[in-house]
Structures are given as C-alpha cells and as structure tokens.
Amino acid sequence: MAEDRIHDDDLALADHGEGEVRPDDRVNDERHDQENRLKPSFVSAVHDALAARDKGAVYDLVEPLHAADIADLIELLEPRERAQLASTISDLMTGDVVAELNDYVREDLMDTLSAQAVAVIAEQLDTDDAVQLIEDLDEADQRAVMAELEPETRAAVSSALAYPEETAGRLMSRNFVAVPEHMSVGDLIDYLRENGDIEHDFFEVFVIDEGHHPVGTCALNWILTTPRSVRLTDLMKRDQTLIPVTMDQEEAALMFQKYALISAAVVDESGRLVGQMTVDDIVHIISEEAGEDALLLSGAGDGDINEPIREAYTARVRWLIANLGTAVIASSIIALFGAAIEQLVALAILMPIVASIGGNAGTQTMAVAVRAIATNQLTRSNTRRILWREFRVALLNGGTIAMLIGAATGILFTPMMGLVIGMAMIINIAIAGIAGVAVPVIFERLDQDPAVASSVFVTMITDSMGFFAFLGLAVAMGLATF
C-alpha cells in the first residue's frame, strides 16, 4: 500500500506533541455545544470566511477539528459550499474525513474530484472504507479510479467488489494478524515487533493451522498479561464466532451484538481465514439497521436528509400512492353506508375517531412486533404467546378508550350512539392488536422485511374495520337504515 498514508492521525499527533490540545476539549468548548454538536456560531464563522474567500481564516477554523467533526462541518454547510471548503483545506481532507462523510455528501464531493484525487484518498483508507468510497461511484468513474490505484490496493478492492453489497466480504478488512499454532506468547510479541503494522487496528490475533483455517483467537490483553513461555494454543479461545464471507451485514451485526465481539474472523466457503471485521465498523451498521425501522415503518425510504430531493420524492410518493389505495378502499366502505350518513350526520362526524384510534393502536403493536422480529426476540417459538399477549393488551386499551369516548358521545349525542362507538372501538382496537403482530410475522415468514410492508396493510385493516364496525353497528342497532 502507499507510503503516504496519513490514516493514523493518532501517531502523527504523538509525534509533534500537540501540547495545546486539552484532552477534554471536545465537549462544550468554543466550537461544540454540550451535546458535542458543532455550534451554529462556529458553522456561520466558516460560512462567512468561505464567502469572503479568506482561505487563511477557513484553514485556521477547521485545522483543530477531529476528522469526524470536519465531516460533520461539511454536511452542515450548504451543498454549494462543500467543494469550496474541501479545496480550501485539501490537506486536511484525509481518508478519515471522507470515510466519516454521509454517503450522499461523499458521492457529491467525489464527483467534483478527479479520478486521481479519489485514488489518493482511497489509498489512505482501510480496504473496507476504500470499497465504500468506490462502490458508490458510477461504473465509468469506478474504472477510472481503479486504474489509478496501486496494484495491491486495486486487487484488494476488486476482490471485495466481487462480493454482493452489504455482505461481510465487502465490509471486512484484509489487514489482520494471523499466526501459526506452534508460537508462544514470546514468539508472537517478537514477530509483532518485527512485522507488526501499527497503522492498522487489531484487537485479537488469529491462530491458524497449515490450511489457513482459524483454530483459535487470542485477545491482546491476554497476550500482554501472560508470560512469554506460554504457548498460544494453551492461551487461545477455541470457541470462536466465525463470520462467513457471504453473511449479510445485518446478521453479522447481530452476531457482534449477541456475543459481545470486538472483532471476528471472516472465512471463505472452505473455512479459510480471509479477513476480519471490527466492532467500529459494526457500530455504524447496528445504528443504521436499528434506526431504519422508524423510517421504513413510515415509508420514508432511506430517510436521509442528504438524499437528493428527486430520490426522496420517488421513495416517498410510492408509499403515499399505496396508502391512497388503502384510503380509497376505506372510503368505499363509507360509501356503502351513504344513506345512513345522510340520515344521521353524526355518523360522519364520529367515524374518523374510530378509524384513527384503531390505526394508532395497530401502529403501536406493529412497532413492538417489528422491533422484536429485528432483534430475534419474536420467533416461531413464541409467536402464539405474543399474539395472545397483544390481544390482551388490546382488550384493556379498547375497554378504556371505549368507556371514555362512549360516555362523551352518550352525553353529547345519544346514549345509543355512545354504545355503538364504544363497541366499535373495542372491536377495532382488538383487530388492530392481532393485525399488528400477525401482519409483520407473515411478512417475515414470506422473507420480506416486515418493517417495509406491514404498515400499509395494518392501516388498511384498521381504517376499513373502523368504518365498517362503527357504521355497521349503527345500522344494526337501528340508528339509521342501510
């Protein structure tokens, strides 16, 4: 890999002392608020310096920032200011900054750079980050950048790109430490001092057999607390969690979480060690995957504020059109009862309440079920128990809401109307409770992401059943005729 790597700013810092940096100056200083966000006053100062084309002032402002804060700053600026900032502080635009950028912002910024400039940045990155940078480019740019890479990096990136997106093969780092079984702790330390690459993080050493299969793993703190003479095979943990190279990133993230891993060996189909995944990469995936349920449930697509407007529109309008379909179905149920509404306009006034609260109850249950499915807590083993649980919660909720709205309606309209809306409410909330579990579970069994599709169906059910139960009961109880 390239010599000019500046990946490890940590060591650079140690080299020139950096005496002025107070260790705790990152929270609540002149640049950060107490939640560690860049202050608006700081962002405007950069904005003003950019507008005044005062390169010196811009540089002085940005230079003390951590790479992750420079990335935040770029995202907070107006899109048209971003390339200007990047060119003004080009020597601060390290691989670390680029790796921390939001995908959309990075893509835009890379589009303004030459293939050579992108390649220089890619060379600074760990393979996994370089792959992330390059996979987002369009095909022509990808080829151009690949041509500019050092042969070794190019080979690593190509081999990563050969795996499907969002798999361990794409995300793993090809820089790891693997040693043969016969080594002792002392041998290992001597080997690392001689050959170790301080610029790539590792948290455990993999012990491999002659066939390059991992047989065990040693955490670095075990090595440091053990006498030189102890053999690695006596120290290592044999029961490892191995990540197949084709495993989906979400599954890998769940393994890291479940088994509290810091790093893990990635193996190919024949069980040979080909890479490692480390928790710092996984943390982003865990946060994304856990956070995306709220977005998916609401049909907000990627839900990224940096997503181009056209893409946001396409993703969201599709969902609104699906919901328009379900709203029309619900309306057609109202239309069935048109004559009843003409006789008694109170029905039109009250019916949205039944549908709306049913929808809320359904959404609650669905959010719980989707989260439980995502965290592997709701499986075939306990589906029936959870259905029954949610049904009981729904009856309690339905009973409470029915009493409240029933009493109010009884007073403001007629007692019979109060009875009708109360009964309709219990029915709709109970149906919502069952649908809120059943719909996501069914989608999961059909191998569909329950967060994506469930809410259109649950809403359709609660809307339609809300109108049907209320208007139907009103007719059945003789409040109006059909």
Strand order in the sheet with 204-208: 178-180, 204-208, 214-219
- Options 84-92, 134-142, 157-165, 229-237: segment touching a copy of itself (CB under 8 A): 229-237
Minimum distance of a copy of itself from residue 136's CB (angstroms): 18
In a 3-state reduction of DSSP, which class is residue 419?
helix
Applying the rule CB under 8 A, the residues between 256 and 315 that interact with a copy of itself are 256-262, 267, 271, 279-280, 282-284, 286-288, 290-291, 293-295, 297-300, 303-306, 309, 312-313
In this complex, which beta carbon is closest to a copy of itself, that of residue 2 or of residue 215? 215
Applying the rule CB under 8 A, the residues between 440 and 469 that interact with a copy of itself are 451, 459, 463, 467
Question: Which of 317, 411, 476, 477 lies at the binding interface for a copy of itself (CB under 8 A)?
Answer: 317
Applying the rule CB under 8 A, the residues between 151 and 170 that interact with a copy of itself are none
The span from the CA of 191 to the CA of 235, in Å, is: 17
* 318 within 8 A of 288, measured Cβ to Cβ: no
Applying the rule CB under 8 A, the residues between 108 and 137 that interact with a copy of itself are none
Q: CA 97, 103, 105, 107: dihedral to nearest 10 degrees?
A: 100
In a 3-state reduction of DSSP, which class is residue 152?
helix
The span from the CA of 166 to the CA of 251, in Å, is: 10
The span from the CA of 157 to the CA of 159, in Å, is: 5
In this complex, which beta carbon is closest to a copy of itself, that of residue 303 or of residue 410? 303
* 331 within 8 A of 341, measured Cβ to Cβ: no
* 185 within 8 A of 229, measured Cβ to Cβ: yes
The site string for a copy of itself over 77-106 (x = CB under 8 A, - otherwise) reads: -x---------------------x-x----
Site for a copy of itself contains 330 (CB under 8 A): yes
Site for a copy of itself contains 414 (CB under 8 A): no
Question: Which of 29, 54, 166, 251 lies at the binding interface for a copy of itself (CB under 8 A)?
Answer: 251
Site for a copy of itself contains 382 (CB under 8 A): yes
Residue 324: is it exposed, middle or buried by C-beta count within 10 angstroms (0-12/13-18/19+)?
A: exposed
In this complex, which beta carbon is closest to a copy of itself, that of residue 114 or of residue 377? 377
Alpha helices (runs of H) in 259-300, residue ranges in sequence order: 279-297
The site string for a copy of itself over 335-374 (x = CB under 8 A, - otherwise) reads: x--x--xx--x-xxxxxxx-xxx--xx-xxxxxxxxxx-x
Beta-bridged to residue 264, according to DSSP, are 277
In this complex, which beta carbon is closest to a copy of itself, that of residue 113 or of residue 341? 341
The span from the CA of 90 to the CA of 274, in Å, is: 34
The span from the CA of 126 to the CA of 8, in Å, is: 11
* 52 within 8 A of 64, measured Cβ to Cβ: no
Site for a copy of itself contains 238 (CB under 8 A): yes
- # chain residues binding a copy of itself, by CB under 8 A: 159
User: Which H or E element spans position 149?
Assistant: none
In this complex, which beta carbon is closest to a copy of itself, that of residue 89 or of residue 357? 357
Minimum distance of a copy of itself from residue 186's CB (angstroms): 11
Backbone angles phi, psi at 219, to 5 degrees: -65, 145
In this complex, which beta carbon is closest to a copy of itself, that of residue 119 or of residue 369? 369
Number of other residues whose CB lies within 10 A of the CB of residue 109: 21
Site for a copy of itself contains 76 (CB under 8 A): yes
* 347 within 8 A of 340, measured Cβ to Cβ: yes
217 token code pair: 């793993």
Return the CA Rg of the chain. 29
Spatial CA neighbour of 272 closest among 197, 222, 213: 213
Site for a copy of itself contains 407 (CB under 8 A): no
Minimum distance of a copy of itself from residue 477's CB (angstroms): 19
Applying the rule CB under 8 A, the residues between 12 and 71 that interact with a copy of itself are 13-14, 17-18, 21, 23-24, 26-27, 35-38, 40, 43-44, 66, 68
In this complex, which beta carbon is closest to a copy of itself, that of residue 88 or of residue 464? 464
* 153 within 8 A of 130, measured Cβ to Cβ: yes
- Options 106-114, 144-152, 377-385, 474-482: segment touching a copy of itself (CB under 8 A): 377-385
Question: Which of 121, 137, 378, 461 lies at the binding interface for a copy of itself (CB under 8 A)?
Answer: 378
Applying the rule CB under 8 A, the residues between 204 and 223 that interact with a copy of itself are 214-216, 219-223
Site for a copy of itself contains 397 (CB under 8 A): yes
